[in-house]
Structure formats: C-alpha cells, structure tokens
C-alpha cells in the first residue's frame, strides 16, 4: 500500500469538462452523403465534471467502459486537449497551457500506438529520446541499464522496431516512456493484446518502477487484473463522471458480501430449489459455482456449508471473493448500484 504523504498533490483535476461536437451521420452510403450537406451537429460531453487529486507515488487505476471519458481525461492531463471547462495541473504545470514544460515531466504510453521509430533498430529510438529529453549521458546510461536489466531489452536493441512482437514492442515502449525519469507516467491500455506471460512481465515491471522510482502512475485498462494487481487506488468513470474513487480493496469490501462458493460434488448434486441464499452462477460437470448472498438471516456462510456437506456428498469447497472485474462488470451492467459518489475517497 502506498504511504500517503502530507504533500501537495502531483495531479489535481477540478471540474474537468470536455465537449465535442459530432456531425450526425445516418446509416450507409446515403447517410454519409446526407451528412456531407448537413450542418446538424450534436454536442457530446465526453468528460462531465471530473475531479480528483493524486498524491506523489500513487498507482491509480482509471477504469470505465469504452466512451466513459478515460482517454479524454488522459489527453487533457498530457496536454493534447484543452478542457471545455475546469482546470488541471500536473506537478503544478497546466498541461494544455504549458505543453512543453509538462511534456518534460511526464511519460506517456498509448498501448495502441508506438512512440518508437518504426524502421530503425530499437537502440536508435532510445538514442533519439535521449536527445529529445536532453538527458545527460551518465544518467541515460544508468537508466538504460536499469531498464534493460529488468525488462531484458538487450537482445531487442539491434532489431528494427517493426520486427518486434507486440509484447517486446510494449516492453520497449514502456522503457522509452521512462528513459527521462518522468515523475508521472500515463499508461493508456499498456497490456492490450498481450499474452498472459507478457502481461505478467509488464505488471511486475510497473510495480517495481512505482516502488523504486516513486513514479506516480495512472493506468487505464480494460483488464481488471491489471488494476487488482497494481493499483491501490481505483477511479471508476461512467458517462464522463467519477462514480467511484477510493481504494481498490474498498470496492471489494463494499461488495464483499457477494461471495462465490465453488463446490465439487461427488456424484449427486443438489437441485436448485434445495438451497436458499445460493444462486447457481456456473456449472462445470460436478463442479458448481454459487453466488452467496449474505442477508443476515440464514446463519452465515458456515451454516450453509455445514448444511451442504450434511445433505450432499461434497468433495471440495472453495470460497472466493468476487474479482474486481466481476464487481465492475456488475456496476456497468447496473445489476448493482453504487451509492452516489460524494467526492470523498
């Protein structure tokens, strides 16, 4: 867990709003032609009053469905977009007003696009970035050694970037975003499309950078495992508004009463109606997963397990907390509702 320092926040966003005007376009070719001559515009509010404050050294997950406003917020904080209303500062710099000063303080990884020189050997990209960020030779050598030790970049250095695998490229891209030792790192979907091993490598590395360099990291991802593994704090966005801002663990505690019970039966398994408080969520041969809803009347989980074991031939029982992914999905699907967010962590 990150120690919160009594210090000025490294990122401060207050009432950020961002409106886009989008031309309406109907379906198919006819719609496209019609849109060509129409001036009908629709205002879309991608970010609608987002505010948060992030302390130095925090590792924050920034989650939300597609179109919730994640990328737009990141683009404001990195200086790419100017907000329609509200203010933001990153290390005291207003990113969209003092773009270059902000750029020197931050590292940015867009998972979908590389910042490396596509046709050149990987090492050339790092040399270019050394020049661009005016890094002293000694500092550069130190950081390069550290990055390539941890990420095992050595063998990749002489290979043209276009010949790297997605996982290798992402390792290099993340290293490239850190070469100037930024105090703040923005990661937009850094694990997208990676296999399990590559994801794990990246996660380990990010955790280490956060601990050893004290880099503040903001991570947007669709993979809730990333957030569960890395982010002590989670901000959830829905329709351009913050609907949750607090400890990742806190989210689970709030929904912790919805535990999953995985039971393996030896032969005969119970009928659905035989068990109050248990709802079958998955069935896999003799293994059945139940959702256990604590309501305070049924005598708790122990009683349920006791009853199960007495009435049926139980081979194995596993009680699992719901994953953050399951919780968030249920928030999106509106099967659970969060209390209105009051701006308090």
Q: How far apart are the two ends of the chain, measured CA to CA in Å? A: 15
CB of 204 to another protein, least distance (A): 25
> What is the Cα–Cα distance from 328 to 224, expressed in whole angstroms?
8
Give the 3-state DSSP-derived string for 260-325, with helices as H, strands as E and coil as C. Answer: EEEEEECCCCCCHHHCCCEEEEEEECCEEEEEEECCCCCCHHHHHHHHHHHHCCEEEEEEECCCHH
User: Smallest Cα–Cα separation from 192: which of 164, 222, 217?
Assistant: 222
Q: Is 217 in the site for another protein (CB under 8 A)?
A: no
Report residue 61: phi and psi, to 5°.
-85, 135
Answer yes or no: are the C-beta atoms of 189 and 112 closer than 8 Å: yes
Q: Kindly state the number of chain residues that form the binding site for another protein, as judged by CB under 8 A.
A: 36
Residues 98-127 that bind another protein (CB under 8 A): 99-101, 103-104, 106, 108, 110, 112-113, 115, 117-120, 124, 127
Q: Which H or E run contains 130?
A: helix 122-132
Measured from the CB atom, the residue of 139 and 311 that comes closer to another protein is 139
Q: CA of 274: how far to CAs of 269, 270, 271, 308, in Å?
A: 10, 6, 5, 10
Q: Nearer Cβ to another protein, position 99 or 146?
A: 99
**79 or 270: CB nearest another protein:** 79
Q: Which is nearer to another protein, 55 or 78 (CB)?
A: 78
**Which parts of 5-24 interact with another protein (CB under 8 A)?**
18, 20-21
Identify whether the C-beta of residue 3 lies closer than 8 Å to the C-beta of residue 59: no
By CB under 8 A, tell whether 185 contacts another protein.
no
- Residue whose CB is less far from another protein, 48 or 228: 48
Contact between 297 and another protein per CB under 8 A = no
Of the two residues 104 and 247, which places its CB atom closer to another protein in the complex? Answer: 104
Residue 305 as a binder of another protein (CB under 8 A): the answer is no
- 89 part of the interface to another protein, by CB under 8 A: no
- Report the residue from 36, 131, 196, 302 that binds another protein according to the rule CB under 8 A: 131
CB 122 within 8 A of CB 130: no
Nearest to another protein of 96, 244 (CB atom): 96
Q: Which residues bind another protein (CB under 8 A)?
A: 18, 20-21, 46, 72, 75, 78-82, 84, 96, 99-101, 103-104, 106, 108, 110, 112-113, 115, 117-120, 124, 127-128, 131-134, 160
């Amino acid at each position: 867990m990150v120690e919160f320092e009594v210090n000025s926040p490294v990122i401060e966003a207050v009432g950020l709003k961002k409106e886009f005007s989008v031309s309406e376009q109907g379906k198919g070719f006819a719609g496209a032609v019609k849109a060509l001559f129409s001036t009908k515009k629709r205002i879309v509010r991608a970010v609608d009053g987002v505010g948060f404050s992030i302390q130095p050294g925090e590792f924050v997950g920034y989650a939300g469905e597609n179109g919730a406003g994640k990328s737009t917020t990141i683009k404001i904080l990195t200086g790419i977009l100017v907000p329609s209303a509200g203010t933001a500062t990153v290390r005291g710099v207003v990113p969209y007003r003092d773009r270059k000063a902000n750029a020197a303080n931050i590292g940015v990884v867009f998972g979908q696009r590389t910042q490396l020189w596509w046709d050149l050997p990987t090492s050339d990209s790092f040399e270019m970035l050394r020049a661009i960020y005016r890094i002293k030779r000694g500092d550069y050598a130190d950081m390069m050694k550290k990055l390539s030790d941890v990420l095992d970049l050595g063998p990749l250095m002489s290979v043209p970037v276009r010949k790297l695998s997605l996982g290798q490229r992402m390792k290099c891209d993340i290293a490239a975003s850190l070469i100037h030792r930024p105090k703040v790192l923005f990661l937009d979907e850094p694990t997208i499309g990676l296999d399990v091993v590559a994801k794990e490598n990246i996660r380990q590395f990010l955790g280490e950078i956060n601990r050893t360099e004290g880099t503040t990291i903001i991570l947007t991802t669709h993979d809730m495992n990333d957030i569960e593994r890395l982010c002590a704090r989670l901000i959830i966005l829905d329709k351009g508004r913050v609907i949750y801002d607090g400890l990742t663990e806190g989210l689970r505690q709030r929904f912790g009463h919805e535990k999953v019970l995985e039971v393996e039966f030896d032969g005969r398994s119970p009928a659905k109606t035989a068990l109050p408080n248990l709802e079958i969520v998955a069935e896999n041969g003799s293994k059945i997963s139940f959702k256990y809803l604590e309501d305070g009347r049924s005598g708790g989980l122990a009683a349920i397990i006791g009853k199960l074991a007495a009435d049926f031939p139980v081979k194995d029982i596993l009680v699992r907390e719901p994953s953050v992914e399951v919780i968030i999905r249920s928030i999106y699907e509106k099967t659970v509702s969060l209390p209105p967010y009051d701006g308090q962590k």
